[in-house]
Amino acid sequence: MPMGNIAFNAAATAGISIDRHNGRWVREPNIDSCMNGLDVDLFDEIERGRTWREDICEGAVVLRGHALAIETELLNAIEGVIAQAPLRHMTTPGGFRMSVAMTSCGRYGWVTDRSGYRYDTLDPDSGKPWPQMPGLLSSLAREAALAADFSGFAPNSCLINCYEPGARMSLHQDKDEQDFQQPIVSVSLGIPAVFQFGGDRREDKAARIPLQHGDVVVWGGVARLRYHGVLALKPATHPLLGARRINLTFRKAS
Ligand SMILES: O=C(O)CCC(=O)C(=O)O
Ligand SMILES: [Mn+2]
Distances (CA, A) of 15 to 18, 41, 50, 65, 67: 10, 9, 19, 19, 19
**Tens-digit pLDDT profile for residues 189-226:** 999 999 999 999 999 999 999 999 999 999 999 999 99
Please tell me the total count of domains within the chain. Answer: 1
End-to-end alpha carbon distance in the chain: 29
Please give all residues whose beta carbon lies within 6 A of any atom in ligand 1, as ranges: 159, 161, 169, 174, 186, 195, 228, 230, 247, 249
Region 102-115: mean pLDDT is: 98
Instruction: Give the CATH number, domain containing residue 210.
Output: 2.60.120.590
- Distance, CA of 193 to CA of 231 (rounded, Å): 7
Kind and range of the H or E run holding 137: helix 135-147
Residue 77 Cα to ligand 2 midpoint, Å, equals 22
What distance in angstroms lies between residue 45's CA and the mean position of ligand 2's atoms?
31
pTM of the model: 0.84
Atom number in ligand 1 closest to CA 211: 3
More confident residue, 34 or 119: 119
What mean pLDDT do residues 108-128 have?
98
Is residue 39's pLDDT more than 90?
Answer: no
Give the gyration radius of the chain's Cα atoms: 18
Whether the predicted pLDDT of 246 surpasses 80: yes
What CA–CA distance (Å, rounded) separates 34 from 46?
A: 15
pLDDT in the model for residue 252: 98
Per-residue pLDDT band for 45 (boundaries 50, 70, 90) equals: very low
Q: Give the model confidence (pLDDT) of 134-169 as tens digits.
A: 999 999 999 999 999 999 999 999 999 999 999 999
Give the per-residue pLDDT at 24. Answer: 32
| Mean pLDDT of the region 170-196 | 97
Cα dist. 88→97, 112, 215, 222 in Å? Answer: 10, 11, 24, 33
Q: Can you tell me which atom of ligand 1 is nearest the CA of 163?
A: 1
Q: What are phi and psi of 196, to 5 degrees?
A: -100, 130
- Kindly give the number of the ligand 1 atom that is closest to the alpha carbon of 193: 3
Name the residue of 170, 230, 241, 248 whose CB sits within 8 Å of the most ligand 1 atoms, as the mutation to test its pocket: 230
Q: According to the model, what pLDDT value does residue 30 have? A: 29
* Mean pLDDT taken over the chain: 86
Which residues constitute the domain of residue 63?
A: 3-251
CA of 230, nearest ligand number: 1
